[in-house]
Amino acid sequence: MNQPNHTDENPRNPGTELDLDWALAVQANTSAIERRCKALPGRRSIKKANQAAWLLKAITCIDLTTLSGDDTENRVRRLCRKALFPVRTDLLEALNMEPGSITTGAICVYHEMVPAAVSALEGTDIPVAAVSTGFPAGLSPYSLRLAEIGESVEAGAKEIDIVISRRHVLSQDWQALYDEMKAFREACGDAHVKAILATGELGTLRNVARASLICMMAGADFIKTSTGKESVNATLPVSLTMIRQIRDYYERTGFRIGYKPAGGISKAKDSLTYLALMKEELGNRWLQPDLFRFGASSLLGDIERQLEHFVTGHYSAAHRHAMG
């Protein structure tokens, strides 16, 4: 299994005019969505060599993340090293993989840590993503949120994870959400923008669906579930709701939007369920890291444990798979 080829043409989403007729027609059948998601883990059971291959695929789609108040430049550099070599050499060799043939999809950090991450990843293809716009609450002054985007881009971030103003969704002010997202997209310039919806704070799946669509209309390159700081983060029902809006947007416009579930995804088996959901709903093209990412910090360690179990037949202690 080789590192995915990102050369498949995927034109960047330019956005559309705000179409409230389209957005307000969107509904979400919560009970049907929950039934579909409840059945998925048991119906899609992947074993042995196939499981190992899918877990390696999952690694390539991880935004390896550290968003702690006690982050240091040295911690970020160690995390970048882990992004470059996410699986121990002996395990890769046992899986007939070349060391260095697998990397994570990106590194995700606060703005202050962007220079350290950019320096550590210089000469590689791994992008640095910066959380921005008053992360995680998104309640800092608007001018400062725009300025923060610009500073992170200037520091070398290739991706910007912005947080929307939840109040726009809760008050159904779709014009305000569209205008805000469009301004954030413009401030990002060539850097790709991931719109964090903070779905656990939006109240209903219908709100999640409509917010997803509005952000795509305004030019989002990715839509993302959560900051990881909410009481409820990524869930399968939220994911199904969002990726069906991605499918609808693609069918109507021809532009592919990426998806990033984030927060609470820490087990290897969960990553397999999310990959299966993406494959069933959107197809193989959305299994590439330019269109699918996990926002995670501890997921990689559990994937490594499962790979070691496949190779040796034994589960290892977590300290054998350190993040740096």
Q: What's the Rg (C-alpha) of the chain?
A: 19
If we measure between CA atoms, which residue out of 242, 252, 253 comes closest to residue 292?
242
Can you tell me whether residue 129 is helix, strand or coil?
strand
Check 260, 270, 290, 302 and give the catalytic one: 260
Paired tokens of 32: 């049907």
Q: Residue 3, exposed/middle/buried by CB under 10 A (0-12, 13-18, 19+)?
A: middle
Check 224, 270, 290, 302 and give the catalytic one: 224
Can you tell me whether residue 128 is helix, strand or coil?
strand
Concerning whether 224 is annotated as a catalytic residue, the answer is yes
Check 82, 158, 161, 290 and give the catalytic one: 161
d(CA 161, CA 125): 19
Phi, psi angle pair for 140, to nearest 5°: -80, 165
Paired tokens of 168: 């726009």
Say if CB 253 and CB 221 are below 8 A apart: no
Q: Output the DSSP codes for 207-276.
A: HHHHHHHHHHHTT-SEEE---S-SSS---HHHHHHHHHHHHHHHHHH----EEE-BSS---HHHHHHHHH
Q: Which amino acid is at 271?
A: S
d(CA 256, CA 318): 37
Measure Cα distances from 73 to 113, 120, 132, 321 in Å.
6, 10, 18, 21
If we measure between CA atoms, which residue out of 303, 197, 188, 184 comes closest to residue 260?
197
Concerning whether 57 is annotated as a catalytic residue, the answer is no
Say if CB 166 and CB 198 are below 8 A apart: yes
Concerning whether 229 is annotated as a catalytic residue, the answer is no
Give the active site residues: 161, 224, 260
